[in-house]
Amino acid sequence: MVAISFLFLVCSFSFHLHAVAQPRNSTIRLGSSLTPTTTGKSAWLSPSGLYGFGFYSQGKGYGVGVFLARVPQRTVVWTANRDDPPVPSTASLVLTTDGRLILQSPPRRDVYIVTDASQKIAAASMLDTGNFVVYNSDEDKIWQSFQYPTTSILQGQPLSAGKELVSSVSKTDHSTGIFRLKMQHDGNLVQYPVDTLDTAPYSYWSSFTDGQGDNVSLNLDNNGHLYMLNSTGFNIKDLSTGGYDDTNRTIYLMKIDSDGIFRLYSYRLDQNGNRSVIWSSTSDKCAPKGLCGLNGYCVDVDREANCICLPGFAPVIERNFTAGCERNFSSDSCKIGDGKIQYTIQAAENTVWEDTGYSEVTSTTREECETSCYEDCNCEAAMFNDGKCTKQRLHLRYGRRDLSNSNITLIKVGISSSINEPRKHADEPKDGKGKVHTDILIIGLSLIGFSVMVLVISGALILRSRVFRYKRFSTDSNIRLCENVAPISFSFAEIEAMTDNFQEEIGKGAFGTVFKGTVMLNGLTKFVAVKRLDNISDQGEREFQNEMRIIGRTHHRNLVRLLGYCHDGANRLLIYEYMINGSLSDVLFTPERRPCWIDRVEIARDVARGLLYLHEECETQIIHCDIKSQNILMDENGQAKISDFGLAKLLKPDQTKTFTGIRGTRGYVAPEWHRKLPVTVKADVYSFGIVLLEIICCRRSVNWSLKDEKAILEEWVYDCYQAGKVGKIAGEDEEVDIKQLERMVIVGLWCILDEPTLCPSNKKVLFMLEGTVEIPIPPCPTSFLSSI
């Protein structure tokens, strides 16, 4: 009997060991790889096959993430590098033998899937919880997807304080969308549009649990119970009651959808993955702010959200209403030569917006409100409600139709964009006079056409001549040019000698390393900075060609000079003038090197002059796309110079805006990048505004070691400005000119407005900094967005 009992214990223990070791059967070893094709292995599955980590369909290619593998349509619950473009079917996901998890898609550069693991990866696992985990050689977890949520949380995955979920663009496009759900440090769970401040004016849903302290978390149990716990583990709020089905036949996940509503879903695994919504933050499809973009409003039709543009407006991007609407008429042209107004006013009834006007007229009629707006060139729209007329400038935002609200939106519409034209306010020309005007117009257009043709032919001949000269130059590798004429071509052997075999490293960036060297130019020995592009890939080659093409067109005292280059075999190097004082960030954020107030003012003007040259004075308009304090270098005289043109964008002569993926550095990126709107030179103006505030305050734009009210620089600066305490902004610097300080603060606040059309041009920014133009009072905080 004892022997039988012992045998039973041994068997039981063996079974227990097998159960514990079961997850190790899904261990992903070094050297493992995946491909998205049906013939190869496209995912690493969890032990039960419930979840998979690997490739999923994205547009015309594939993305990488975690998804439900046991339902017919792969439901993506976590995405890696979600804003990267889809990869082709030739791509592969590899856990390399040296401990890196990378996505390979030649000729593109390798992309790291796990970028912040504390140690080298020894193995990985896809767990049945939906958590993808990587381990070190001691089998300790060093990274897990549960700590970096994207759109969803799963059973057993908390959303902790400070974390947020961000929606996808659509059900099939998993890149970053326009809504977020944040678990705040004050204990409140709140929904906002992306790139907004964490303040009440932007929120459209809240758990109303603020004041519950830090470390509150959102949690989801195996039975569908969605609830919030405080730091002591006490349940402070139930969002769903739970108790639906805690068997292994049903799984639950919470997701913020592309429409801005977050929902709790159940999936029945025994019913072919049948999905149901068992709880949602709201049933009002028009509640999410920003759903219809600027100048568009949401209309609920049969419980579905429909977006409509204001009269005289059209979508910025067809079939993408979240990008907003734009008009073909502006208040700048509301009066013609004889002072007669050329527009009509049309109405959108029962529409409400969350904007404040600049002027209010009381005790008036609708007709009087219209007339008041007609006669005011600053008025682009007016809100009429119960005898009150509020005049506003564009853009209007967070609009929706509310049949219970009597507000009428009166909008100025240019005659050319008006369809019905209910009221004209311009004298129509008589027939005879109109004919004369037509004849003059025809003759004028003919002359203009002939002139344009002559210019085109002349330009073509000049271009042909220049191209011929360039080709002659390119074929002669022995040519050496003077420093002030063009970049010099060097061989790799010459670069090695120049840098003493790359002896002294002075900096490192995303695509390369910078070394100090010496070169003989015009008979003089000069120090140079040599940027060597590492691991030349598709992206690295593009950066090299881009920087060569763009900086070769520029010559300005506030831009770093490109002195030479090397295009020798697989080697790509760029040689710049050496900037002895390093970057502006080194100078500003090192207390011992902090410049005095007068020098900081001049630094700001230097950067503005450099940008003005790129935007308006260069032969081709250039958007830098990565203005930040690290990319502004300081020479021996303390003069600031803009550097690093690897991400810059050249505009064509007839082009004022461009569509491109997000470029730049977090914290300095303009809001239009995140909204996927057309990008103009105003994106650089926004980034300059952040840099300007850093110059004023000698601190980084984000510093979480400070108190909450000071952590985000632009918020704190505006609060100080509103409170009339601008003296606090520059710290204890006794040399500060308070009036000049206030002027610079106001310029910075104007630059970081969220709407590009409201931001000043760089020329006006420079004029304001130099004190040659008056500066109006900047809008309230609801008009600008954080770049965090």
Active site residue 238: no
Given the residues 259, 626, 644, 684, the one annotated as active site: 626
Amino acid letter, residue 417 = S
Specify the DSSP class assigned to residue 151: S
State the Cα–Cα distance between residues 61 and 73, nearest whole angstrom.
16
Dihedral sign of CA atoms 377, 353, 307, 253 in order: positive
The answer to whether the beta carbons of residues 368 and 382 sit under 8 Å apart is no
The reply to whether 531 sits in an annotated binding site is yes
| Dihedral-angle region of residue 273 (phi above 0 means left; psi in -120 to 50 means alpha; beta otherwise) | left
Peptide bond into 395 cis (omega under 30): yes
Residues whose CB is less than 8 angstroms from the CB of residue 334 and which lie 6 or more positions away in sequence, other chains included? 341, 342, 343, 377, 412
Are the CB atoms for 190 and 256 separated by under 8 Å?
Answer: no
Of 33, 28, 80, give the one whose Cα is nearest residue 58. 80
- How far apart, in whole angstroms, are the C-alpha atoms of residue 154 and residue 218? 11
DSSP string, 306-364: EEEEPTTEEEEETTEEEEEEEES--GGGSB-TTS-B-EEEEEEETEE-----SEEE-S-
Nearest CA-CA partner of 174 in 93, 82, 292, 80: 82
Tokens 């063009």 label which residue?
Answer: 486
Closest by Cα among 721, 757, 735, 450 to 598: 735
DSSP 256-272: E-TTS-EEEEEEEGGGT
Q: What's the distance, CA 16 to chain centroid?
A: 50
Q: 251, 29, 33, 45: which is closest to 53 by C-alpha? A: 45
Annotated binding site for ATP: 531
Catalytic residues: 626
Annotated binding-site members: 531
